Structure 1
Amino acid sequence: MPDRLRDLIDLVLSSLDEGIDGAELAERAHFSRDHLDRLLAAATGESPVALRRRLLLERAAWQLRAGVPPAEAASLAGYGSVAAFSRAFSRAFGAPPSAYAGEVHLPAPNGIHFHPPAGLLIPGGAPSGGDLTERMVLHHLDRVRELLQAAASLPADELQRELRPGLVVVWFEGEEPSAALMCERLVYTLEVWVAAIDGREVPVAGAGDWLPRFERAATDFARIAKRIRDRGAWDDAFVDALCEPPQSFTYGGVLSHVLAFGAARREALAGVLAQLGADVSSGDPIVWELSHSRHSSVRSGASAP
Structure 2
Amino acid sequence: MSKADKVPPDRLRELVDTILAAFDERVDGWQIAGRAYTSRFHFDRLVSAGLGEAPAAFRRRLLLERAAWRLTQGCSVTDAGWEAAYNSTEAFSRAFRRAYGRPPSAFGRVRADFRLPARNGVHFHPPAGMFLSDRTTTETDMDLTERLLDHDLWLTGRLLDSARELTAEQLDREIRPGHTVLDFDGPEPSVRRMLERLVWTKEVWTAAIAGRALPDGGDDSVEALRARWARAGAEFRALAADVDRRRAWDDTFIDALCDPPQSFTLGGVITHVLTFSAYRRQVLTEALAAVGCHDVPPACPMEWERGQLAERPLTSDQLRGLGEAG
- Partner amino acid for 2:75? V
2:73 aligned partner: 66
Instruction: Measure how far apart 1:25 and its partner are.
Output: 0.7
For 2:150, the equivalent position in structure 1 comes to: 138
Shift of 1:103: 3.2
CA distance in 2, matches of 1:173, 1:290: 34
The alignment partner of 1:99 has SS state of: helix
> 1: distance between equivalents of 2:183 and 2:101?
59
Q: Does 1:194 align with 2:206?
A: yes
Q: Output the amino acid matched with 1:119.
A: G
Q: Within the alignment, does 1:264 sit opposite 2:279 as a pair?
A: yes
Deviations 1:258-296 (A, max 9, x none): 111111112212222222232111121111112223334
1:97 equivalenced with 2:113 (yes/no): no
Equivalent residue in structure 1 for 2:31, among 24, 36, 41: 24
Per-residue CA deviation, residues 180-224 of structure 1 (Å, 9 max, x unaligned), is 111111111111111111111121222461111111111210111
**8 Å CA contact 1:167, 1:176 repeated in 2:** yes
Q: Which of 161, 168, 176 in structure 1 is aligned with 2:173?
A: 161
Q: Which runs of 5+ in 1 are unaligned?
A: 299-305
CA contact (8 A) 2:153 2:234 kept: no
Work out which of the residue numbers 156, 173, 192 in structure 2 matches 1:180.
Answer: 192
CA shift, 1:69, in A, is 1.6
Q: In structure 1, the residue corresponding to 2:244 is in which secondary structure?
A: helix
Residue 324 of structure 2: aligned partner: none
* 1:33 CA displacement: 1.8
Deviation string, structure 1 residues 110-150 (Cα, Å, up to 9, x no partner)? 22222222222234454423110011011111111111112
Q: Which amino acid aligns with 2:158?
A: E
What is the SS of the residue equivalent to 1:204?
coil
Amino acid at match of 1:170: L
Note if 1:245 corresponds to 2:276: no
Out of 207, 221, 225, which is 1:210 matched to? 225
Instruction: State which drifts further: 179-188 or 151-160.
Output: 151-160
Matched residue, 1:290: 306
Shift of 1:255: 1.0
Task: Give secondary structure in 1 for the equivalent of 2:254.
Answer: strand
Deviations 1:229-257 (A, max 9, x none): 12222222111133233211111211111
Match of 1:119 in 2: 129
Matches within 5 A, 1:27-106: 27-100=34-107, 101=110, 102-106=112-116
Distance in 1 of aligned mates of 2:230 and 2:16 = 42
Alignment check: 8 A CA contact 1:64 1:97 kept:
yes
Q: Separation in 2 of the partners of 1:112 and 1:121?
A: 6
Report the residue type matching 2:122 in the other structure: I
- 1:163 Cα deviation (Å)? 1.7
- Check the 8 A contact 1:79/1:85 in 2, yes or no: yes
Q: What is the distance in 2 between the residues matched to 1:215 and 1:54?
A: 49
8 Å CA contact 1:112, 1:122 repeated in 2: yes
Identity of aligned pairs, percent? 50
Note if contact 1:57-1:89 (Cα within 8 Å) is conserved in structure 2: yes
Structure 1 contact 13–119 (Cα < 8 Å) conserved: no
Q: Contact 1:22/1:33 (CA < 8 Å) preserved in 2? A: yes
Partner amino acid for 1:289?
E
Structure with greater contact order relative to length (CA < 8 Å, sep ≥ 6): 2
Q: Does 1:225 align with 2:223?
A: no
CA distance in 1 between counterparts of 2:42 and 2:312 reads 31
Indicate conservation of the 8 Å contact 1:64/1:99, yes or no. no
Runs of 4+ in 1 over 6 A off after TM superposition: none
Work out the CA distance in 2 between the residues paired with 1:152 and 1:92. 59
What is the rounded CA distance, in whole Å, between the counterparts of 1:75 and 1:296 in structure 2? 40
**Residue type of the alignment partner of 1:203:** P
- Across the aligned residues of Structure 1 and Structure 2, the Cα RMSD in angstroms comes to 2.0
Q: Tell me the secondary structure at the aligned position of residue 172 of structure 1.
A: helix
Q: Secondary structure at the match of 2:292?
A: coil
Cα deviation, residue 156, structure 1: 2.2
Partner of 1:5: 12
Q: Residues 174 and 149 of structure 1: is their aligned pair in 2 closer, same or farther, counting only changes over 3 Å?
A: same
